[in-house]
Structure 1
Amino acid sequence: VEGLKTYPYLNASVMDENIVFKKDINLGVAVALEDGKGLIVPVIHNAEEKNLFGLAKSVNDLAHRARNKKLTPDDVQQGTFSITNPGVYGGLMGTPIINQPQVAILGVGTIEKRPVVVNDAIAIRHRSYFALSYDHRLVDGAMAELFMAHVKAFLEAGNIQ
């Protein structure tokens, strides 16, 4: 959410030949259906108004209702940016596909302990690979990398409230 506030082009859409910036951040969260018959992407509306606990609660609620086929039409509409997690099945990374008319989607790989260099010493830290797919009509590689660097810095700083 913080990255989308800083880089609003990733929270926009292209309609005909116009760029439409979205005032709300409505996060689509890909949920694998338990019957193995694909994914559904319910939406956390007004995600910018929620703290981490509120987002986690919303994700859990939407995932539960999705798997029990209890979503309403409103639950799957008006997404402005999506997140998918191939890591839930142990995948390190994947190539997420944009949910049109959105212009970007973030894929989050599995979180696992890995050796990293910290202050010239090797330490064990939790790490994950992220993959961002984006529509080049609106977002170029430089903006995408700045967004990813912002997300990385935010997560590593531990400013999650």
Structure 2
Amino acid sequence: MAKFELKLPQMGESVAEATLTAWLKEVGDTIEMDEAVFEIATDKVDSEVPSEVEGVLLEKLFNIDDIIKVGQTVAVIELEGGSESGGAMHTDQKEEMTEVLPEEVAVLEEKVANVQELVGSTAQNFADTTRFYSPLVKNIAREEGITTSELD
């Protein structure tokens, strides 16, 4: 089966990143076309991000409260079987992808590990507080090194 990378879409001209606020689907859930998969919040808007394809959620690449840049892959969806007329074209594309995929996966896994280490060392745990903070406030607190106890 083919895999589809669900990326964070451009939400506006000046919006470069968003905070993942909720997953609406779990790994293994079936997703219909245009069905919301996760929710995001930016400085300007809160929004649900729909799937561009039908399939099964195979992998979540970010956790709640993670900051995602526009164009980054957020989830991987395994596509369900399509029509037979388009099958030959998809088969050729799959074979081409499998030749390149292992190299790309290794590079991406290394990058993800590096970013997770960097974010993990500087990230604050906002789950410890009962107060609500907007994604903008959380971003500023992270950048300025302000602890949750100082915010409270």
**Common fold, TM-score beyond 0.5?**
no
TM-score normalised by length of structure 2: 0.26
